[in-house]
Structures are given as C-alpha cells and as structure tokens.
Amino acid sequence: MARASSRHRATQRVPPNAPAITVDGLSRSYGERRVLSNLSFEVLPGEIFGILGPNGAGKTTAVEIIQGLRTSDGGNVEVLGLDPSRQRPQLRSIIGSQLQSSALPERLKVREALRLFARLAGDVVDWRELSEEWDLAGLHGTSYGSLSGGERQRLFLALALVNRPQVVFLDELTQGLDPAARRATWRLVRRVREKGATVVLVTHYMDEAEQLCDRVGVLHGGRLSACGTPADLISETGGSVRTRFSCRQAAAVDGLDAVPGVHHIMRDGAVVEVVGDRSSSVLIAAELVRRGFVPDDFSVVWPSLEDVFLDLTAGGSR
C-alpha cells in the first residue's frame, strides 16, 4: 500500500484555460547591471514555448527565477498557480528541469543516476521503466564520463522526468551536439510534450526553435522584443524572398524587375538573384516559363526565424 502511495503522481490543478506560466513585470539586477527589465509573457498548457536571445539577454536568469532557483527584484511569477519564490517545495514535485550547467559525477553509472533521482523524487515512476522508455537500458553499467553528448542528453531528459512533471524546463539542451544528435534530441523533446507536459525550451539555435516551438519569445536587453508563433513572427518582419537561378542569356532576364512584387535584381556572373515579396517567386517562375527558359537550379530562399532574430536584436521591437 505504501509503495502505491509513493508512486502517486503529484499534480497541481489550475483553472481551465489558465496559463501554465505567467510572468508579469519581472526584473533582476546584479549590482549595477540590469539583467531583466519588466519582462512579461505567458506560457500556455501543453505547448513548447521557446525563449530566444543573444548571450547575456537574461534567458537563463528568467528561467531560474521561474523555477524558484533565483529571487527577483520585482514582478510576479506563477507556475501552475504557485509562486516559485514562496512555494518552491510544492513546485519541485510538479516540474522537471535540465539546466544549462547540468552535470553528474564522472564515475556515476547510468543505473545509479536513474535510481538515485527516482528515489529523491519519491519513486513516482519506476526507474527501470523510465530507462527502457528513453533507450538507456543498454547503458546501465556505463559511467557518466563515458557517455557521448547525445547519450548524456537522453539521460538528462530521463532524469528531468522522474517525477512525471507537468512543466519541463530545458536550457540549451542541444549545445555542443552534432547535427544527428541534435535531431535525435528534438524527437525526444516532442515525446515529452506528447506525454502531456508543457515545455519551456531555452535555445540560441533558430532552426531548433522553428522545428520545435509552438510559440517563441525573443529576449533582448532583458526585455521581451517579440512573442508569437515562428510563422507569425516571420510574416510580421516583412522579410524579402530571394529567388535564385543561373542564366547566361541576358534576354531571359531583361525586364524581370517589372514583374509585380520584385524589388530588385542582382547578378554575379551567371547567377541571378531576384529580391521581392512573398508572391514574387511564383510570378518570376511563370515569366521565365513564358519566355521559354526553365533553369534547372531554380531555388527560393524564404525569410526565417533567424532573420527575425537578427532584426529584433539589432534594436527593433514588436
């Protein structure tokens, strides 16, 4: 009976449709340096919310305050209806965390880490089942120091889930991983959300945010410069579409600047780049076909979240 009770999942009930996280007017300084200034945003239940920003923007400080690991100088934070500054013990049982500075003793074996963290969480889950679920069973006897970067991240994700958290914080989860390991880790993050958790993902990789996040908030200078879905933010920038192809026939290119939506045309030897609005690439393709010219390397480069990020962190705000 005691065993069943110890594995009862801790939950925090919040009103229907209420945000999982509310940050209102958060501020924090270290001496004379202002790190966060009137930061406000909400994270919705069940979404993957990305926090982006250049180094020193206050991303990690904000996430640590939200978890109750640091104090703020002002403002209010609620996580599932709890105040992290006053209700940290209650909050610990319903959140999971993988911090940027996460590390384990080099000689600690995977089996020992899983068993220890599960016990500290009250044996909410069976560590063996968690090990199977996150493909760690074959690494039970391997020491932490011998794990590859991708294996360490699998272990950290599993350890963050030992209490079946309702909210999971992941800070620079894929930093230093090779492209294959990064994409494998992305699949694991999606699995965390599929299991019902809300995920807060701190990252400086724009492709990662575009692939994973339902919404993102861009921090710059301790303030929120923009917040929305990646697609909406990209659309709002009004960034130009670049259409590229090779052409040595001047007649096939002459006059393309008169096509609706085209801003200007650049040439570098045989390479032609047409800069225009979002409809220009389709109209350029149609015009080339009408002229009897079909390039075999026709490509379109769309605005990306990286363009939004560079625009906002250069001083813009939305």
Q: Packing angle between helix 230-237 and helix 305-313, nearest 10 degrees?
A: 60
CA distance linking residue 287 with residue 49, whole number of Å: 41
Q: What is the tens place of the pLDDT at every residue in 199-214?
A: 999 998 889 999 999 9
Q: Which of 164, 162, 51 is nearest to 113 (CA)?
A: 162
Per the structure block, which two tokens stand in for 229?
């879905």
Helix segments in the chain, DSSP class H: 2-6, 59-66, 88-92, 110-120, 127-133, 149-160, 179-194, 206-212, 230-237, 250-253, 280-290, 305-313
Flag whether pLDDT at 317 surpasses 50: no
Q: What is the pTM of this model?
A: 0.78
Flag whether pLDDT at 296 surpasses 60: yes
Q: What is the tens place of the pLDDT at every residue in 264-289?
A: 999 998 999 999 888 899 999 999 99
pLDDT (mean) for 145-172: 90
In three-state secondary structure terms, 108 is: coil
CA distance linking residue 47 with residue 228, whole number of Å: 12
Q: What is the tens place of the pLDDT at every residue in 183-202?
A: 988 998 998 899 889 999 99
Q: What percent of the chain has pLDDT over 90?
A: 54
Q: Which residues contact 279 (CB under 8 A, 6 or more apart)?
A: 260, 261
pLDDT at residue number 2: 35
Q: Which domains does the chain have, with CATH numbers?
A: 2-235 (3.40.50.300), 240-302 (3.30.70.980)
Average per-residue pLDDT for the chain: 88
pLDDT (mean) for 241-250: 90
Q: 96-126 burial by CB neighbour count: b if 16+ within 10 A, else e?
A: bbbbeebebeeeebbbbbbbebbeebbbbbe
pLDDT at residue number 13: 64
Per the structure block, which two tokens stand in for 71?
């104090």
